[in-house]
Structure 1
Amino acid sequence: MFNPERLSIARKRRQLTKKSLAEKAGISQLTLTRIETGQTQDPEEETVAALARVLAYPASFFYLGDCEELPPEAVSFRSLSSLTAKQRDSALSAGAIAHLLDDWVTERFNLPQPNLLDLRHEDPEAAAIALRRHWGIGSKPIPHLVKLLEAKGVRVFSLAENTKNVDAFSCWRNGVPYVFLNTFKSAERSRFDAAHEIGHLVLHLHGGTSGREVEREADQFASAFLIPRDDFVAHVPMVRSLEQLLTHKSRWGVSVAALARTAFEAGVLSDWHYRELCKQISYRGYRTQEPLPMQREESVLWKKVFEELWKDRLTRDHVAAQLDVPSDEISSLVGGLLGSGSNLSSSRKEPFRLRAV
């Protein structure tokens, strides 16, 4: 049977309206609406072929079972102010494809089990300290956040949306936490986005809460999680200049703006001096072009998955074919976390091992 939900997902992934898709496929908008709403349960093969051609999806994709499309209320987006409906729907539909990929991989490998806490009754800074303690990392800097999250059972995916409007988002599904990162952002911003989403996952559990206060709490969690106050004060007891902050940037792997904010909140920077530093950061263009940029973090889990698959001569294209999705969807979900082809070799010090089921 034709699955209209899958047509809706593919259309949203391509950020097409019903009107534009109908025009490109050479059918009426009414015909498309009837197909996508399920009123036409068995569309003609020629029509499905035309839709598949425009969407660049295999026609077989539309004849499979339901996908778990994420409802907006179940997701925490990193930024909402500049997010269009098309961009939001495209990101949510990416989540549906990610669930298909995660289910496929989970059937074949023993992945790390989720190891987060329910910290809804804690304030953000206390929650960050509690999670660090739970994970046994104390106040030490986190050199590789993506690797840490994957080791703790968080499924991390990339978003190749080529826009700054979709920063990141997260959700829970069947007890498994998911984080989606926009690799269009700087490496420092991606780290903060990832920590921000962990804040949502442990503080809010996506219970329908949203708004500025919720986002502010997730920001506070991210700051405390990435830059523990005690560690910061021990290494930066007083801030004298922007250059001084730049020398400490690599320790915590955050933006210079985030360091300035932490210094102010830790009481080692006066209100006047903080405002002056913010002006300098803006004047030098550091809000859009991070100084002394760090190397983007790459996934350990996805590298290991594809290395194991390659032992059976299975590539991303084979995985896409197994899922009946375009290869570019697999690349969008993991490519931003794998780096260049030469980086597919794994580190010798992984926090976990993959075992085939």
Structure 2
Amino acid sequence: MNDKNGFLPFGDEFSPDKLRLARCAAGRSLADIGDLLAVTRQYAHKLEINAIPSSTQLKQLSDLLGVDERFFFTARRGSVDLEQCHFRSVRSSSQTLKKTVAAQVEMFELLVDELEKEVAFPPVSFKPYDGPTPTAGESERIAEKFRRDHGLGLGPISSMTKLAEKVGVLVVNLADVDERVDAFSLFNKRPLIVRSTAKSSPGRQRFDLAHELGHLVMHQGIETGCRHTEDQANQFASALLMPRASFASEFPSMRGRYLNWHALKELKLRWKVSFKALIYRGRALDLLTAEQAKSGFTHLSRKGFTKFEEYDDLLPLEAPMLVQRALDLLDYTSWKKVLVASGLTPEWVSGRYLLNIPVSPLRLVRTHSG
């Protein structure tokens, strides 16, 4: 309530759920909230149940959590449940970390909801697989069908990001996410693929996008994260990026006991994938023996190519464009309307999602002399 008149500053009812969402998205604990407000952790917990902050506390919460004060006075429209999310590095990600990322994505959906009132995004144009649990061979066929359905031919995909956006998937960058979360996807109101900027290898980013697209195509309504579903998504990604008919004909022969690394370099640059992905695909298609593939992986490890590989700097780093183009279409008045309705701040949108936001136009002021 207001410190002077005893009322909260906005007409709508304070939403404890929106406070919890903002706190999770900011990666803050209840203890952090208690320290900020100079109250106990127990009272901070009550604020997320049925207690009402004072106007001073409301301002403090807004500043700490990076949202507009109005954010706390609209109902939470729906949550992003962890069961809905296909996390790329599920085994190494803590529950707290995943909750933080899921909350940030839920807030991104608030922005998208408001943008869709102003701009029409492409319709979702892929059909989810609805058959039995796919085997390795079935994952391959599903990827091949995806290529046929979208007229991709048998050559390299020029941009995985543009392909995902073309079929109706929104791709979003998340800044400052722990590197244990490479990427993840979910199909809530519309399909999303979330990328962490912590991974800078272009080839591996493309594989991550193809992997997440595999989850969106094959695993709707299925909880993922086990070895089985991750293998299926990897098989889909490999087949999508490197179709067997054309890729197998280009894969270089061994040089005696050794891989032909010079030829693999050319293959890497042509198909825009990592050396690791090339070897993985070569083994899956029986172009390499298990021993030859192991030797290749060992070579990469000894060279220190675990996160960034040689020649990665020659591959283009892809960037999401669909949401940015939507923002570019807005005039400043429309943008302010979207921003206010979402309850986010310009700093949150530009800093967290790495988006360039509309700026207020300069006014031409004429001066008259005499």
Match of 1:160? 175
Alpha-carbon distance in 2 for matches of 1:318, 1:297: 30
User: Is residue 299 from structure 1 mapped to residue 320 from structure 2 by the alignment?
Assistant: yes
Q: Quote how far apart the aligned CAs of 1:173 are.
A: 1.6
Q: Deviations over 1:298-337 (max 9, x none)?
A: 223234223212xx2469788544522132332255427x
Of residues 185-194 and 314-323 in structure 1, the stretch that sits farther from structure 2 once superposed is 314-323
Written as runs of structure 1 = structure 2, the 5 A alignment for 1:20-31 is 20-31=32-43
User: Is residue 258 from structure 1 mapped to residue 273 from structure 2 by the alignment?
Assistant: no
Q: Is the 8 A contact 1:67 1:96 kept in 2?
A: no
User: Is residue 56 from structure 1 mapped to residue 66 from structure 2 by the alignment?
Assistant: yes
Q: Is the 8 A contact 1:157 1:333 kept in 2?
A: no
User: Is residue 14 from structure 1 mapped to residue 33 from structure 2 by the alignment?
Assistant: no
Q: Which residue, out of 106, 110, 117, partners 2:116?
A: 106
Q: Is the 8 A contact 2:67 2:348 kept in 1?
A: no
Written as runs of structure 1 = structure 2, the 5 A alignment for 1:324-343 is 324-332=343-351, 334-335=353-354
Alpha-carbon distance in 1 for matches of 2:332, 2:45: 41
Q: Is the 8 A contact 2:115 2:338 kept in 1?
A: no
Match of 1:346? none
Q: Quote how far apart the aligned CAs of 1:53 are.
A: 2.5
Alpha-carbon distance in 2 for matches of 1:282, 1:120: 39
Q: Which residue, out of 201, 217, 224, partners 1:202?
A: 217
Give unpaired runs (5+ residues) of structure 1: 342-357
Of residues 10-19 and 205-214 in structure 1, the stretch that sits farther from structure 2 once superposed is 205-214
Of residues 116-125 and 285-294 in structure 1, the stretch that sits farther from structure 2 once superposed is 116-125
Q: Is the 8 A contact 1:156 1:179 kept in 2?
A: yes
- Give the match's secondary structure for 1:109: coil
Alpha-carbon distance in 2 for matches of 1:181, 1:19: 29
Written as runs of structure 1 = structure 2, the 5 A alignment for 1:188-267 is 188-239=203-254, 240-267=259-286
Q: Is the 8 A contact 1:199 1:221 kept in 2?
A: yes
Match of 2:99? 89
Match of 2:127? 117
Q: Is the 8 A contact 2:253 2:260 kept in 1?
A: no
Kindly report structure 1 stretches of 4+ aligned residues shifted beyond 3 Å.
Answer: 313-322
Alpha-carbon distance in 2 for matches of 1:198, 1:83: 20
Alpha-carbon distance in 1 for matches of 2:216, 2:83: 14
Q: CA distance change for structure 1 residues 210 and 270 in 2, over 3 Å: closer, same or farther? A: closer
Match of 2:158? 143
Alpha-carbon distance in 2 for matches of 1:320, 1:134: 37
Alpha-carbon distance in 1 for matches of 2:127, 2:116: 22
Q: Is the 8 A contact 2:174 2:196 kept in 1?
A: yes
Match of 1:290? 309
Q: Quote how far apart the aligned CAs of 1:44 are.
A: 2.0
Q: How many percent of aligned residue pairs carry the same amino acid?
A: 27
Alpha-carbon distance in 2 for matches of 1:225, 1:25: 52
Between Structure 1 and Structure 2, whose CA radius of gyration is higher?
2
Match of 2:195? 181
Q: Quote how far apart the aligned CAs of 1:80 are.
A: 1.3
Q: Is the 8 A contact 1:158 1:332 kept in 2?
A: no
Q: Quote how far apart the aligned CAs of 1:237 are.
A: 4.8
User: Is residue 133 from structure 1 mapped to residue 154 from structure 2 by the alignment?
Assistant: no
Q: Quote how far apart the aligned CAs of 1:118 are.
A: 2.1
- Give the match's secondary structure for 2:32: helix
- Give the match's secondary structure for 1:70: coil
Q: CA distance change for structure 1 residues 137 and 306 in 2, over 3 Å: closer, same or farther? A: same
Q: Is the 8 A contact 1:170 1:177 kept in 2?
A: yes
TM-score between both structures, scaled by the size of structure 1 = 0.87
Q: Is the 8 A contact 2:173 2:320 kept in 1?
A: no
Alpha-carbon distance in 1 for matches of 2:221, 2:209: 16
Q: Which amino acid aligns with 1:92?
A: A
Of residues 69-78 and 112-121 in structure 1, the stretch that sits farther from structure 2 once superposed is 112-121
- Give the match's secondary structure for 2:329: helix
TM-score between both structures, scaled by the size of structure 2 = 0.84
Q: Quote how far apart the aligned CAs of 1:193 are.
A: 1.1
Q: CA distance change for structure 1 residues 190 and 100 in 2, over 3 Å: closer, same or farther? A: same
Q: Which amino acid aligns with 1:68?
A: G
Match of 2:89? 79
Root mean square deviation, CA, Å: 2.2
Q: Which amino acid aligns with 1:215?
A: E
Give the paired residue count.
333
Q: CA distance change for structure 1 residues 68 and 161 in 2, over 3 Å: closer, same or farther? A: farther
Match of 2:329? 308
Q: Is the 8 A contact 2:66 2:344 kept in 1?
A: no
Alpha-carbon distance in 2 for matches of 1:82, 1:131: 30
